[in-house]
Amino acid sequence: MMGWMRISATRLFIGVILAGQFMANIDTAIINVATPSIGATLHASGAELQLTVSVYVLATAMLLITAARLGTLYGYRRIFLIGLATFTLASLACGVAPNVLTLIVARIVQGFGSALLVAQVISGIQRTLAGHARTKAIGMYTLTLSLAAVVGQILGGVLITMNLFGLAWRPLFLINVPIGIVLFALALAFMPRDAKLDGPRPALDLPGVALLGASMLLLVLPLTVGREMQWPPWTIASLFSSVAGTAAFVLWQHRLGRLKRSPLLNLALFREPGVVPGLGTQMLGRVTYFTLLFVLALYVQNGLGESALVSGLSLVFWVLAYGIAGPVYPRLPQRIAILCGPLGAVITATAFGATALATALHAGTGWLLTLLLGGGGFGFGLLQTALTTQLTSAIPKERAPDLSGVLATTAPLCAVIGIATYGSVYIELAAPGGPEAATHAFAIVNALFAVTAALAAVTAWRAGLGSERVRALREHAQRLELLENVERDRNLGVA
């Protein structure tokens, strides 16, 4: 009976933190569907509408690594709850905003709340679970990331079409309020309490926070608005400044580490075997995924003349296949699981290549497009689940907050980088207008996705070898410890 209660509490804990992740991620996608309705009701300009979308991503990206460190200093449960409360109250402010300025400010606060709760998810899984339970939870985590983006588009279209109580776009934000209240109560009940620190609490690296926040702002802001503004000189200067700011941040973190002080991001994370190629693989995969969401919506709606709802439904098979990959991976033996990262990337590359070919032959529509996307979803789900599992297994628990912050930061970065690069390619090629131009653009971009996913297969192989080395070393250390215990017991017996 106690075992059943323990299992149920663990499942509820995982459900709560993943629901928080889902709610935060869905607000990234759902706003894109709402912008026409917001513009009509609040009389917002195009620039103001763009800000309502971008400031959420900006605020989230700027704070994620800092939020992960706050979880270490003050407890990941406490910071998760603060983030959830902030996100929920900001959602209420968004839903009742009387003008666009209030909405933009509320979206910034909502982004801060999102960062605080999202940065604790991987850290919470790694600190609380181990072995098969952790692998299953990571499978559900990767499914949550994919599902949120698609559901956001579909739910946004449905709610705006229904126009509940004549509130137009407002229910998209107000729906977060009752959900957030329920999740807060469940988190209080089922999230493990934070351990008390022995000794004084280390100080937060405020110069590191300032350097990292400024660097992220200088990177994400021009990538977000540069394309629409035709890349004015300040956007290029901002990108170069972000490189300089990042270099200064790294040097500062290195100095704090050398002085044995508490850096915002422990750079020792990147010296762990398999971490650098693993993070590289995550970014290559996520760039293709987030850009696919952007490009597919343009292709289906503007190119083929379908509705936003049809656009969202085109990804149903992607999500279903992704959902299959998550539960399949934990059931695989270790000798096969180690190959799932590169195998998933190869499957994804093949699906993108087939989509490019089918589109070029004017067959990449309807059910065929949906099925091909399903193949890509399965490969991507396998890749993400395998890589996240390998990364969390390759590092000690004390590095969990650093990994959680870095992994969470890659998502908004990959979204803006992908849209600024591959998304711009699509827009340029589709600029003449009409189905022919859109079809050509979609085929070219999918071919680029295939090349990127193929590169991810190479980096995934290197990441897998690194994590396998860690596993072998740990097993060797455990065997040595066992032999030492046997020898000690034998000597005690002789004595």
pLDDT above 70 covers a percentage of the chain that reads 87
The pLDDT, as a whole number, for residue 4 is 38
The pLDDT, as a whole number, for residue 453 is 94
Q: Tokens 């979206």 — which residue?
A: 107
**39-73 confidence digits (pLDDT tens):** 888 887 766 777 787 788 888 888 888 888 888 88
Q: Tokens 């804990």 — which residue?
A: 13
Distance from C-alpha of 124 to C-alpha of 69, rounded to nearest angstrom: 13
Q: Which of 49-53, 89-93, 114-118, 267-271 has the lowest mean pLDDT?
A: 49-53
**383-392 confidence digits (pLDDT tens):** 888 888 888 7
Residue 1 has pLDDT above 50, yes or no: no
Burial class (CB in 10 A: 0-12, 13-18, 19+), 98: exposed
Distance from C-alpha of 273 to C-alpha of 134, rounded to nearest angstrom: 20
**371-427 confidence digits (pLDDT tens):** 888 899 899 988 888 888 888 777 777 777 788 888 888 888 888 888 888 888 888
Contact between 187 and 80 under an 8 Å Cβ cutoff? The reply is: yes
Kindly state the average pLDDT of the residues 346-366: 87
**267-324 confidence digits (pLDDT tens):** 888 888 778 888 888 899 889 988 888 888 778 877 787 776 677 677 778 877 887 7
Distance from C-alpha of 436 to C-alpha of 353, rounded to nearest angstrom: 19
Contact between 91 and 180 under an 8 Å Cβ cutoff? The reply is: yes
Helix/strand/coil for 307 = coil
Alpha helices in 191-258 (DSSP H): 206-225, 233-258
Distance from C-alpha of 130 to C-alpha of 127, rounded to nearest angstrom: 8
Number of C-beta neighbours around residue 340 at 10 A: 25
